[in-house]
Structures are given as structure tokens and as C-alpha cells.
Chain A
Amino acid sequence: DGGITQSPKYLFRKEGQNVTLSCEQNLNHDAMYWYRQDPGQGLRLIYYSQIVNDFQKGDIAEGYSVSREKKESFPLTVTSAQKNPTAFYLCASISGLINQPQHFGDGTRLSIL
């Protein structure tokens, strides 16, 4: 079955360490998104990519980086510059076809040790 796979489900980071969250989709979708979710804050857009080798900053991009070398993959790196990285991270993708919604992965919960 097609879908979005996020890994790992739980991730722990030490102070000053960079960590990378994986997002893979086999839906052949063009656009991919990363959101951060905090209690009571809804989903806030970190980065998005509408095509391979291109991506744009969202509303809260500081302290994060992404790459889009392949259509199916959109990894997110949480750098040491992100001072409050503890959150639930969701990856989503969307096709280029009209009337199609975003599909979401099951998320990665990142915590600081």
C-alpha cells in the first residue's frame, strides 16, 4: 500500500547535537511538507518542497534544514541552533492533481535528554 513513512517514531537528542528525521513516500507525490506540532499550537509549517532540488521556508524554519534530492524523500535535520526542539514532527505529501488532500505520516516525537 502507498503511504508516508516517518522514522524513527521516537528520537532523543542531546544538547548541541544535530538529529535527522526521515520521511519517505511511495505515493509519487510532487510536494512534501514538514510540520511541528506543540500542544495547543496546531500544526506549524517548517519547510516545504514542491519539486525535487527545491524547497521553501515555512513559518518556523529557524534551526531546521532540509534536502530534497529524491522525489520520495524529504529528510528534516533539527540543528543545535533550534533551542526548543521537543515536539511532535509530522511529514506530509500531496500530489499535483486537483482535489487531492495532504497525506500524513504517523509522526516522530523528538525529546531532549
Chain B
Amino acid sequence: AQSVTQPDIHITVSEGASLELRCNYSYGATPYLFWYVQSPGQGLQLLLKYFSGDTLVQGIKGFEAEFKRSQSSFNLRKPSVHWSDAAEYFCAVAVNRDDKIIFGKGTRLHILP
């Protein structure tokens, strides 16, 4: 069965520093990949998605992610974080377009002033 691993439960970076959140998936074929962000007490908002084509995808709020098939990874990056980026981030994978979406356990991002 497919699975998603986010190895970092918490990450702390200084405001203005670069950010990379890791995500690895387990599946034989290329899945559909997503990154979502969740502010406290809120639902999830889609940051970006990868279905096919260019392996570097751009999302909202200045985020990007790179799909690396050889590493089964889909890491999220941002060149310079802002205090408002403090939130929880979820990587997710779906095998078929209308299949269940499997979520990682999330990475909570803390920003130092």
C-alpha cells in the first residue's frame, strides 16, 4: 500500500532563512503529489500539486517543490520564510485521480524572529 513519510515532526527556522520540508512516498508508479498547509484550527489549503511534466512545480505563497523519482521524494522549499509561514505542512499522495488521498503526519514549522 502506498504511504507518505514526513521525517521531521518540527522544524524551526529564522525569518528570512531558506526552508526545505522533506516528503518521501512509497509507491511503484508515479503518484499524484500534493502539499497542503494548515493554520491552527483551520482546514487545509493546497500549496501546490504534481501530476506530470516539469518536475519543479511552483505553488502559492512563494513555495515550490521538486519531484525526484529516483529518490521517491517531493520536498517543499521556500527561499526566504516569513513569520506568517508558521503552520503545519502536510504532504499527500494519491495513486489514481479519484482514489483516496494518503496524508503524511505533518511537519510543524516554527519561525524565529
A interface, CB within 8 angstroms of B: 4, 6, 30-31, 33, 35, 40-43, 45, 48, 50, 58, 88, 90, 92, 94, 96, 98-99, 101-102, 104-107, 109
Q: Which residues of A contact B36 (CB under 8 A)?
A: 104
Instruction: Categorize the interface residue count of chain B.
Output: 20 to 34
Chain B 30-52, CB-CB to A under 8 Å as 1, else 0, gives 00001010000111111001010
Main secondary structure of the interface of B (DSSP, over half): loop
- Which of A6, A41, A94 is B98 in contact with, Cβ under 8 Å? A94
Contacts across chains A and B counted by CB atoms under 8 Å: 54
- Which of B43, B100, B103 is A105 in contact with, Cβ under 8 Å? B43
**At the interface, yes or no: B67 with Cβ under 8 Å from chain A?**
no
A–B pairs, 23, beta carbons within 8 Å: A6-B43, A30-B98, A42-B105, A42-B106, A43-B103, A48-B100, A50-B98, A58-B100, A88-B41, A90-B43, A90-B44, A92-B43, A92-B44, A94-B98, A98-B51, A99-B51, A102-B101, A104-B36, A106-B41, A106-B42, A107-B42, A107-B43, A109-B41
